[in-house]
Amino acid sequence: MRVGIGHDTHRLAEGRPLILGGVRVEHPRGLVGHSDADVVLHALTDALLGAAGFGDIGDAYPDTDPAYRDCDSAKFVRETQARLNQAGWHVVNVDVIVFAQEPKLGPIKAAIRASLAGLLGLNVADVNVKAKTGEKVGAIGRAEAIGCQVVALIDR
Ligand SMILES: [Zn+2]
């Protein structure tokens, strides 16, 4: 049994779609990044990689690689989970905290949870999603960015 942690932050800007945990969220601004900038799926990928001792998302999916431009980040999670499975690991549960001053995440937490459970092939009971604001301080509190932390437990 092993544990991994993932963390990510992306900047909010106009003219981008906002995608959190594979869920398209209606909002005037979205996250900026090389891929679709899904901050939740990036933190989840890093937690899975970390649990297995496979390094980090930057090693696995360099943001200088044109193959990943505007890429659906679900690809990163699916491929990483397949690598874990090949090494004999399966995901036991994940716990997710999304840090966003806006939009309000309360109404969409359940959708993100269901999306992550579907992506990982887990029961929703094994995927927890929590939402925090930035308490109006710092980049997240000023709604300039959204952050995410994920802890994942894996077992053989
Ligand atoms: Zn990222």
Backbone angles phi, psi at 154, to 5 degrees: -125, 160
Q: What is the DSSP letter of 145?
A: E
32 CA → ligand 1 middle, Å: 9
C-alpha 110: how far from chain center: 15
Listed as own residue / partner, the contacts of 80-85 with beta carbons closer than 8 Å and 24 or more positions apart are 80/45, 80/48, 80/49, 80/54, 81/48, 81/120, 81/121, 83/52, 83/54, 84/48, 84/51, 84/52, 84/54, 84/154
123 CA → ligand 1 middle, Å: 25
Q: What is the pLDDT of residues 97-145, one digit of tens each?
A: 999 999 999 999 999 999 999 999 999 999 999 999 999 999 999 999 9
92 CA → ligand 1 middle, Å: 23
57 CA → ligand 1 middle, Å: 8
58 CA → ligand 1 middle, Å: 9
> What is the pLDDT at residue 107?
93
> What is the pLDDT at residue 70?
86
Q: Is the pTM here over 0.85, yes or no? A: yes
